[in-house]
Each structure stands twice: as structure tokens, then as C-alpha cells.
Structure 1
């Protein structure tokens, strides 16, 4: 019989994608104890995906013993919203929590630039840690996390939910099966619309000191997909980036949509008071820490890029061209793999190629919806063989929960971690590092005008074939 602590001691093999002998449910039912979890950071992602959804779906498996946030007002709101129960402690600092609780797992969902603080504190306290992407925002913090995992002999899981989408998994399977031979180059474009894309510039993400720029915060999702699909590490990066659409108006310093004198003429005007959830999650607590959720998109404090183009050379000599734009009229993505035997193309939500009828706002709302896996549609992946007819494979796809990935990620962690996974969806500290290092290298390349070698950023050396 194993108990929850013995189970969590094997979390390193979860992160490595290996099998674990007993499922968590069996361990809990055998020991009579639930997994004790702590959440640090009570923003929208923490409250919803790593908070309320866990209580709603896995209440027989785990219990929250602590919530941590520097904003005491928002902390109390989170406790009610998540439904943690009266036995869950509320803390404004990590040290008080760890002195009173003995958690089995700590989940970090704070602002990106502070992830390393709580990851390292958790590891030093002898607790395995699960962190939202990106793992961190610069190479020094990244190295500190790598050192801490090795020093304290605990493990980090990085939650790349896009890997878990059945559509993205099918791409992985086709590449593993050499459908187009060996991949030689990739073209990957991601478009954010003026609803979702603009939201990053309203929030703390619009300042690089908090997010590391969208090359780290947002693109780490996409860079991890490329690393995972290619089963190789990035070796060298060259990039261009600029801020030319958002930001740049000195008179908008400190202005929010609520206090703006251009409400009637600005197409980006957003009335946060019309959303009960946003009002209660943010507006009612802004007096404590000054965080304004409906900041002006054109305020001068914005110092990230709104258009980005990145060239990546992989250790296995695959060349990748990646583009991210943040003010497209539509939101979706396209990827094409060129191989020695043909070409593989995949795309989602491209209006002139897709039959979905959702509006741009509805698309994003569905992606963030954690309450259901949603209705399934059949989405194409097209392979073109040299000297042969093209073939189209249709894959079930749901817009909800990041393409159906969120539910599958949770189930693998909390329900059946013993399940064999030939695709190695689960990500550990090296995966987290290699994804952010592309964004960090791209940022450095933009600033210097020179290519940046990934091996020069941390002690990690890129591998042609991931282990």
C-alpha cells in the first residue's frame, strides 16, 4: 500500500513521462488520505483551472490546505470562488504557509517573473512543485531553478496543456511515424485577434519586467509544441520584433478604460463593470495592491513587442520560422512541416479554411472554458507525399479547455499517472527551460541584432534527440 507522500515522491517520473506503478486514486483509497495541495497566486488561471476545477472534479482525491496571495482581499474572494472549505488556510506570504502546512504539492500561478521565487522556495521546503508556463522569464532565473531541482532533489512539472490536445497529439503521431520522412523545416504562424491579443496589453503582461515579453509568456506555448513535435532542442535563434500598434501615448499614463475620456470613440473600450466575474475578481481588490485590470492599451508603460518573427536552428539541423502577431482581425494558427518525403499542414480557426461559426470573442471564451470538453468538430491535417496524391486525416477537436488539452492534463496528473504515454506529454524542468530559452534568446537577438546560441544562456546543452 502506498500513501500520498510516497506517491508524490515519484512525481519526477511523471515529469519525465515514465510510468508510475500505482494510480493516485488507488493510493488515496488505500491510505484514506487526500492529496494536500497549496495554490500560490489567485488570478484567473489559478482560481479557475488550478482552483475551482480541481475542487469540482477531483474533490475525492485532493484537498486545498492553503492559498497564498499578497493581496489579502483577493485571497478571501478566491477562497469563496474556488470553494476550498473552512480548513484551508489563507496566507499573504509563503513562509507562514509552509510553517503551518505540510503540502504534498505546491502549484504556482503568480506573475511570470515571480515563478522562480516560489518554485525554489517549494523545492527547498522539500515539496514538489507544479508551475504554470512560462517556467520563468530570464536565463539567470532559469539556471537557479535548474540548480534548485538538482540540489533539493524534488521535481518541477511545467503545465503545457497545448501538448494534450488530440489535434496536436495527432500531429506528433504522424511525425513520429515518419509520414513525411525526416522533418527538415517548419513554418509556424500564430495570430491573436484584437480581443484576445489586446488583453495582454491591458494586463501586467504588457510590461517585460513582469512577463518577459510575449516571446516568453505566450510563445513559450508554441515553442514547446515545436520542441515536442520535433523531439529536438533549439540550438540558435535570430529574431526581429517591434512595438508599433499598442502603447506609445504619454498622456495615457495611469489611464484605465473606466476613467478614459475616449470611451465613445475607442474601438478597444472595454467596460469591466459589465462582467460580474471580472469585477469581483479584480476591481473589488485593486485598492490593496493597485493592480488595474482594464488598463489603457496605449499607455506609455507598455514595453513589449506586438509583432515578432523568430528563426530557430535546431540541434538536429531543422530550420523553423515562427511568427506571432497580436492585432489580427481573426485568431488562429497554421503550421507546415517540410520533410524528406513530403509536407504536412495543419491549421485551426483560419476563417477562409475553417467552417466554424463562432465569433472571435466566443472562440477565446470557449478556449478558456473549464466546465466542459465542449462539442467536437472534425478538423483536417493534410499530408502531401512526393509524387503522390495528398491525404487528409480528420481529428476530433473541441474548442473548450485549450483544444481539450486541459482535462487530459489534469487527468494524467491526478487520476492515472501510471498510464503509459508514448507521446511523452508530461513536461519537466528541462522542457520548461528549453521553451523559455527560445523566447529569451529571441529577445536578446532583437536587442543586439545578432543570433544567440542557446548553449550560452544556461548550463543546459542542446540535444539533437531529446531523451
Structure 2
């Protein structure tokens, strides 16, 4: 069988680690990378240095997508650049009736959700959104417990997500700090969480009410050593007075913490564009929130109580799912950067009438709790024939997660509930609400 040909839009840290490396190694017999597209030529240089096998691969600028398709004749497009660029490449790929693999978030706005959904409905290609958290062994087992009917119909979910002072702060150093790039963290980060909830519950979100705030970062951050814009960690004259910097550094060197997926081969790219990934977390350019609490209502009656905080002493989450027949609980603390002993993550199952059961799940190696290797197998080898349920996310799931995130942000701004259908025009509302969007999961 001939290898499938891929072009990659956005030669980012994520593209290099998540896609290019395994495509050249594990999936070499099934994949061929025939073109690379990026706004920064420096990323091509870094990519070829890291992966000599790609030397000579044609490269293209963002306005050369059509030329790239005509010259390389790919079977599929991988979209892994800055979030706001996703929509154009997804739409163009689907218009060419190609399969498209997109990093999350699928897009950053409801308007772009409409564009993608409309195009998907008229395309012979399929869109796949890489919600790899679904593929964690713990998360898959939770889905299986719900499908087995162990807790009955899902009625309410409590999810509290914590990011530590390294990972959380990183979003405020990089391009994510501007809403125009990322949609804000209720979209860029929380779509992961909202997707898990809608997938577990088997219900579609319909309305959100939320509060949001910038508590830690930006110029008014209480730990800002001096109000002065334009600083970068690499050259900052006051960084040794910055508690966020010094938590992961000494006065003589910066120390990458364990399990650091942010220190990567292309962390210094951007010389052609002026971009730096070490901007000051207290800069006034920051226009996104670092704290959210939200309530989300679903179409079959479930309710989500959600919070996310981007500056905490440790990283992880607490989850409880309640149903008409019982309750599921689990807690994860990411062990790599935790400053204390971390117990094994288990699932506690409480039947409505009966004894508690503790479920130990076999761990799996790989990023995102072992999810990355499995989702790559589904993407490049096809769905696992032994898995009795659907897991890969498509256009509808990607849109619902983004719409939930945008509704959370807009609710926080307007101080009122926001219905997801208000973020789409009527032609899309009818299709989405009835589950008629193609490639549905």
C-alpha cells in the first residue's frame, strides 16, 4: 500500500514533536511529508537541522497554500500553527476534498466554527481534531464505565483544573497571551476540558455562565517586580526578583523542570519575525484571563461546574461525575513538577446503593497521560478495530468545544448566560443542534 502524503501548516514545537518525529520514525511506512508551510523561515532551518531526512522538502509561505497543494499533491493536511491560523488552512484543505488533521483548538471563534462546519458538510475530506486527552487510559476507562451504564444518565460534573506556576505562566510569555492569537485560555486550553466532558457525558453543551479574571499576570500582578513593559526573561534586569522565574531557576542558570514539554528544539525560533517565547508575564500587552469559574448546561440535562486556574503550586485536576445510578471520582497530580509525593491515580466508583470500588488503570507511556501514542495510531493506521466505541474527534466535537470556550469568555464579559447557538447563524444552529454535521463523534 502506498504511503499517504502529508503537508504540514505550521512547523511549530507541536508539529515537530507530535507529528514529524513519529511520522519519520514509528509511522515511516505509512507517511510521507511532502511540504512544509510557515510564516517564519527560521522554523524550516530548525526543522531540517533536527530532522535531516526532511532536507530538501519543499517549503512555502502562508500565502502559497494553493501552490503547495498543486505542486505536492498531498492526501492530507496537518494544521499545527498559531491557533488563529487554523481556520483558513482547515477550510482550504477541506475545499480541496483532503483529509485534515488539526491541533486543538480547532479554531478560535464561533464565526470560524461556522466556516469549518459549512465546508465540512460539502467536502469529501474529513477533519480530525487531536483531542489527545480522550486517549489517556484513565479517561478512556471513565468513558467505558459510563457506556457500561455504571452511573446511569450523567446528571452533573465537577471539574477543577490546576496549572502550576511553570506551565500556567508559560501561556503569558508566549503568543497565547493575546486573544487575537489564541481566543483566550477558555478556548486555547479549556477546549481540552470541555471536549472531555461532552464526550464522557454524551451530551451537547447549550449554555454557559461564567466569571473570569486576570489575578496573577499582567502589569497589576502582585508579584510584578517593576511596572515596565517590553521585558524578556532572557535579558531582564530584574528577573532575579521575579518569584515565577526564580521558582524554576537559580541566579546562575535557568533550570528546566522535569517533564518540561515547553523546552524544545525550536524555543528560540522567530529570528525572522521578531517573535520571542520568553516575554514578561507582567506585560500590559496581555489581554486574556488567568482564572475562570463557569457553569455549563447540556442538552440532556447534565450540568458542569468548572474552574481553571493558571498559577497554582501544583498541576492536575479533580473530577467527579454524578449519574442516576452512581458517582465517579478521580484526582490527578502531575508528578514531574510536584514538590511532594504523588499517589497513583485511580478511579473511585460509588454505586448509588452499594460499596465503593477502586479501579486501578494500567498506565501507558507517552505524552498527555499516554494519550499521544494512541491517537497517532488512530490517525496514521486507522481506528483500532478492537475498540468498541468511537473516540476520534471531528468537526462537530471541535466546534462544540470552541463554542463552549467562547461562551464562557463572553459570559464573563457580559455578566449573563450565553447560549452556544447565539454564536452561530441559524443555518448552522439547526445542523449542530440536531447532530447532522458530517464526521460527527
Q: CA separation in 1, counterparts of 2:295 and 2:7?
A: 39
Q: CA separation in 2, counterparts of 1:201 and 1:362?
A: 26
Q: Which of these residues, 398, 408, 422, is aligned with residue 442 of structure 1?
A: 408
Q: CA separation in 2, counterparts of 1:304 and 1:190?
A: 17
Does the residue aligned with 1:259 lie in a helix, a strand or coil? Answer: coil
Q: Is 1:390–2:356 an aligned residue pair?
A: yes
Q: Which of these residues, 266, 273, 291, is aligned with residue 289 of structure 1?
A: 273
**Per-residue deviation at 1:282?**
3.6
Q: Is 1:61–2:34 an aligned residue pair?
A: no
**Per-residue deviation at 1:150?**
2.0
Q: CA separation in 2, counterparts of 1:173 and 1:333?
A: 20
Q: Return closer, same or farther for 1:257/1:226 CA change in 2, 3 Å cut-off.
A: same
Q: Which of these residues, 94, 97, 105, is aligned with residue 123 of structure 1?
A: 94
Residue 157 of structure 1 aligns with which residue? 128
- Count matched residues: 416
Q: CA separation in 1, counterparts of 2:194 and 2:339?
A: 25
Q: Return closer, same or farther for 1:103/1:454 CA change in 2, 3 Å cut-off.
A: same
Residue 381 of structure 1 aligns with which residue? 347
Q: Is 1:413–2:379 an aligned residue pair?
A: yes
Please identify which structure carries the higher helix content: 1
Question: Within 5 Å, which residues of 2 pair with 1:184-195?
Answer: 184-195=155-166
Residue 151 of structure 2 aligns with which residue? 180
Residue 455 of structure 1 aligns with which residue? 421
Q: CA separation in 2, counterparts of 1:464 and 1:391?
A: 35
Q: Is 1:215–2:210 an aligned residue pair?
A: no
**Per-residue deviation at 1:102?**
0.2
Contact 2:154 2:321 in 1 (8 A): yes
Q: CA separation in 1, counterparts of 2:144 and 2:364?
A: 19
**Per-residue deviation at 1:273?**
7.8
Does the residue aligned with 1:248 lie in a helix, a strand or coil? Answer: coil
**Per-residue deviation at 1:104?**
0.7
**Per-residue deviation at 1:378?**
5.6
Residue 359 of structure 1 aligns with which residue? 337
Q: CA separation in 2, counterparts of 1:422 and 1:215?
A: 32
Q: Return closer, same or farther for 1:137/1:72 CA change in 2, 3 Å cut-off.
A: same
**Per-residue deviation at 1:420?**
5.0
Structure 2 length-normalised TM: 0.88
Does the residue aligned with 2:346 lie in a helix, a strand or coil? Answer: strand
Question: Within 5 Å, which residues of 2 pair with 1:239-278?
Answer: 239-248=210-219, 251-269=227-245, 278=263
Q: Is 1:46–2:15 an aligned residue pair?
A: yes
Structure 1 length-normalised TM: 0.83
Contact 1:47 1:82 in 2 (8 A): no
Residue 148 of structure 1 aligns with which residue? 119
Contact 1:193 1:328 in 2 (8 A): yes
Q: Return closer, same or farther for 1:47/1:462 CA change in 2, 3 Å cut-off.
A: same
**Per-residue deviation at 1:274?**
7.2
**Per-residue deviation at 1:123?**
1.6
Moved more, 266-275 or 109-118: 266-275
Q: CA separation in 2, counterparts of 1:315 and 1:207?
A: 32
Q: CA separation in 2, counterparts of 1:119 and 1:362?
A: 43
Q: Return closer, same or farther for 1:134/1:348 CA change in 2, 3 Å cut-off.
A: same
Contact 2:83 2:181 in 1 (8 A): yes
Moved more, 200-209 or 450-459: 450-459
Structure 2's unaligned 5+ residue stretches are 221-225, 257-261
Q: Return closer, same or farther for 1:265/1:338 CA change in 2, 3 Å cut-off.
A: same
Residue 324 of structure 1 aligns with which residue? 308
- Alignment RMSD: 2.5
Q: CA separation in 2, counterparts of 1:83 and 1:431?
A: 36
Contact 2:13 2:264 in 1 (8 A): no
Does the residue aligned with 1:417 lie in a helix, a strand or coil? Answer: coil
Structure 1's unaligned 5+ residue stretches are 1-27, 351-355, 364-376
Q: Is 1:429–2:391 an aligned residue pair?
A: no
